[in-house]
Amino acid sequence: MLDSSTPEALPLAGLRVLDFSQFLAGPSCALRLADLGADVVKVERPDGGDLCRGLVLADQTFEGDSALFHTINRRKRSFAADLKAPADLARVKALIAGADVMIHNFRPGVMERIGLDAASAMALNPRLVYAAVTGYGEEGPWRDKPGQDLLVQSLSGLAWLGGDAHADGSGPPVPAGVSMIDVITGAHLVQGILAALLRRGVTGRGGRVDVSLLESALDLQFEPFTAFLNGDGSQPARTAENHASVHGAAPYGIYRTRDGFMAVAMTPMDKLAQLIGSDALAALAADRGGWFRNRDALKQQLQQDLLAQDSAHWLAILEPAGVWCADVLRWPQLTAHPAFAALGMTQTIRSASGATMQTTRCPIRIDGRRLYSAEGAPRLGADTEAIAREYGLPSSPSSSFAP
């Protein structure tokens, strides 16, 4: 496997991207474009910059900003500008005139008030791909609600899908342990941008790409949501045992073993009963048409059976027989495993001062090469004057920010 940190060799080398976005969804899109070779200029307000610089997780900071900020904004450059100051706004418009892509995630109406809405920006640069993230779209009663991951997981029904129903149906909603809606929305925006750039290569004109957290959350649920749309209109019932899918038949779920947990995916219940040597499970599984209808009873019996042995015991029996199953690992176990080492999924990034921190690499491989970059996130405004010189912009006191 070849590795690469050479931007000239990457598919998006030479592409100019302006990233006005904050927090996760928009910046994660811009990060992926940067990973693929684009020159991403992060346009930030001089007073504080991206609010994510102060969003500290696990009490971890790096070079005065949150470690999260450095993870999601590595390999970008920072241009400080006050969009409410006429001189700075003129400089930013000059950047837009020379850019290929512009990304923002302001609430609906904000860019219109500033004068950087899609129509205005594309009037400056007809080849521009204008990409925007909103929480709930440009219209409707939720358009002005805060577009935040946990809130969208809750409103979209995704949080409800998590967790067990409990015997009395009282199981609480359980959100995902990661900001999955932000990340998938950023990925959708990347897809739209690349499609618009391909069209521009044919027609010479840019275009507008819009995504929303809510639409991405619904798309993420397409399997169960499609079943709901084509059903009787009632909320699907969560299983009371080992919940993993509202529409999954037994044994689909995660089970406790004598020393931990293991996952069991799609497999014939009668085959599973035979392999683990359970007469009680075999009797329940004899009704092949009832593996969904009777899934709670089947899962309860399977759970009772699997508690008799360690995970390794069951995996040694089930995996060679072709059963789709896996250990449930925590991060210390995962990172110590040879399978994790084979991925080369981590990298060291370095700040301008030489400080280092560990994070993930781009998960995409190009021409068989993993994509690494040691360049960390920029200090606020660190590249303002260098970028201004590249674009031939006049200097501006309000944006010539020296960190």
CA of residue 42 relative to chain centroid, distance: 19
* Strand partners of residue 264: 253, 325
Residue 232: how many CB atoms within 10 A of its CB?
5
Residue 59 among the catalytic residues: no
Residue of 39, 100, 117, 182 marked catalytic: 182
Reported as type and span, the H/E element at residue 206 is none
Which tokens belong to 257?
Answer: 């073993």
Could you tell me if 368 and 1 are in contact, meaning their C-beta atoms sit under 8 angstroms apart?
A: yes
- Rounded Cα distance between 288 and 37, Å, is 53
Could you tell me if 214 and 136 are in contact, meaning their C-beta atoms sit under 8 angstroms apart?
A: yes
Which tokens belong to 77?
Answer: 């450059």
Distances (CA, A) of 309 to 282, 304, 312: 18, 10, 8
Distances (CA, A) of 403 to 5, 107, 286, 382: 27, 28, 71, 6
Reported as type and span, the H/E element at residue 34 is helix 25-35
- What per-residue string of b and e applies to 298-337 under the rule 16 or more CB within 10 Å gives b? bbbbbbebbeeeebeebbeebeeeebebebeeeeeeeeee
Distances (CA, A) of 176 to 158, 164, 235, 298: 8, 14, 20, 26
Could you tell me if 160 and 153 are in contact, meaning their C-beta atoms sit under 8 angstroms apart?
A: no
Residue 109: how many CB atoms within 10 A of its CB?
12
Could you tell me if 257 and 311 are in contact, meaning their C-beta atoms sit under 8 angstroms apart?
A: yes
DSSP 72-130: HSTTEEEEE--TTSHHHHHHHHHHHHT-SEEEE-PPTTHHHHHT-SHHHHHHH-TT-EE
Residue numbers annotated as active site: 182
